[in-house]
Amino acid sequence: MIAYNKTWLQNKFIQEHSFTALGEYYITQEEQAAIKIAYPAPFYTPNLFIRIGLFLLTGIIMIFTFGLLALICLNIIERAAGGLAVFFGMASFAILEYFIKIKKHFRSGVDDALCSLGAVSVFSGIFLPSNMNGLSICWVIFIITLFCSLRYADRLMASGCMLALLGIFFFTCTLIGGDFKAIVPFVIMVVSLIIYITSKILNDKTQFYTYGDCLQIIEIVSLISLYLAGNYGIVRELSNTMFDLRLAPAQSIPFGFVFWILTVALPLLYLALGAIKRDLVLLRVGLVLVAAIVFTVRYYHDILNIEVLVTIAGLVMIIFAWALTRYLRFPKHGFSSRERNTAYSQDKLSVESLALAETFSPQPALPPGTEFGGGSFGGGGASGDF
């Protein structure tokens, strides 16, 4: 099913593992070089920045090609738009196959762009001329993205496929109506949980190396959707608008307390499980979702002024980080606060310093011009439009 050369993908997987082993000083440089020769993977995979550039340029080329096609068919565009988009999408996939099979591209930016563009234009070709409801839209997205995920192992497509599947369950339940409407959150949660467990099990089995990246992204998305489906705020606002409950601002939904428990407990459960199982995905998603607890609680209960809350949160986080570093200064329970023993790239540092300069940048120091009326050019007036 996969379009890329299977043996090379496997070799690439072996190369990456040997590279990690080299980075942590388990094997020697010579051994790594020997492995690389024994398991070659001569894909065309350029540097990340070149990949970004190729992605953008492929996008430009394809969009203007589509524009040119539309321009040529200008007289019949209203009737032919859908067919044109589907044709264009198919053509994108054909070009994609050429680049994969003949030019040996793999994650080069060209294949990423062609895959996304192909999927989007086939979808809009089907979607635009017709009058579809939510359920059939989800089915169309599901089929297209499932095909793309299986054939091109694209992470974006894999997450889109998973969300479309959830959408199918959501709209099916709401269409059946009655009691099914009330249990929609639980249906979504159960489906997310099943998806998470399945992808986790599949990912732990090494023969699925081809889809390792896709499975990992599905793990992350399913953990988040599992949480959001049980989040009080999401459930309340969504059921309020979708099912026309007409809730008063302070009014709760039926069985609101169940969702409050889920809102607070799930991220903590993720963190605990992540710590016990040494699972980075669980740990990181849990950390991010702790912020979601704070936002949800704060949104429905005016417990503190927002600035007091922010200050306290900042203080707690600093103290927490400091205490954890102190506690783990000498590794405990298999955890360590030290960096892993891998090659530390200068690039990382530079990027971090850029991010810092961006968040803390000062405004130009010129006077606002109101002080003595003489200021000839005021620096801060944003009007850079060209």
Partner 1 sequence: MNVPLFSRLFEEGLITSASFEKIKTYPAKQLFSVHWEIRAILYLGILLLTGGLGVLVYKNIDSIGHQAILAIIATICAGSFYYCLKNKLPFSKENVRSPNAYFDYILLLACLSFIIFIGYFQYQYHIFGNRYGLATFFPMLLLFFCAYYFDHLAVLGLAITNLGAWLGITVTPLKLLEGNDFNSTNIIFTGILLGTGLIFAGQLSSKKNYKAHFKFTYSNFGMNVLFVSTLSGMFRFENAYMLWFLFVAGAGCFFYWYAKGEQSFYILLMSTLYVYIALTYVILKMLFDMNGVEMAAIYGAFIYFIVSGIGLVVFLMRTNKIFKNR
**Nearest distance in Å: CB 291, partner 1:** 9
Written as six digits, the tokens of 363 are 């405004």
Binding positions for partner 1, 365-384, rule CB under 8 A: 365-367, 371-372, 377, 379-384
Identity of the residue, 10 or 172, whose beta carbon is nearer to partner 1 in the bound complex: 10
Find the part of the chain contacting partner 1 (CB under 8 A) among 82-90, 152-160, 240-248, 364-372. 364-372
Q: Which of 82, 67, 77, 191 is nearest to 132 (CA)?
A: 82
Q: Which of 188, 167, 82, 180 is nearest to 130 (CA)?
A: 82
- Residues binding partner 1: what is the number (CB under 8 A)? 90
Three-state secondary structure readout of 285-305 = HHHHHHHHHHHHHHHHCCCCC
Q: Is 133 in the site for partner 1 (CB under 8 A)?
A: no
Binding positions for partner 1, 274-313, rule CB under 8 A: 278, 283-284, 287, 307-313
3-state class of 164 per DSSP? Answer: helix
Cβ atoms of 230 and 256 closer than 8 Å: no
Q: Which x/- pattern over 193-232 shows residues binding partner 1 (rule: CB under 8 A)?
A: -------------x--------------------------
Identity of the residue, 146 or 309, whose beta carbon is nearer to partner 1 in the bound complex: 309
**Nearest distance in Å: CB 2, partner 1:** 20
Q: Is 7 in the site for partner 1 (CB under 8 A)?
A: no
Q: Is 17 in the site for partner 1 (CB under 8 A)?
A: yes
Binding positions for partner 1, 47-106, rule CB under 8 A: 47-50, 52-54, 56-58, 60-61, 64-65, 67-68, 71
In whole angstroms, how far apart are CA 86 and each of 93, 146, 156, 212, 261? 11, 17, 20, 30, 46
Cβ atoms of 223 and 281 closer than 8 Å: yes
Q: What is the gyration radius of the CA atoms in the chain, in angstroms?
A: 26
Strand partners, 332: 335
Q: Which x/- pattern over 135-174 shows residues binding partner 1 (rule: CB under 8 A)?
A: ----------------------------------------
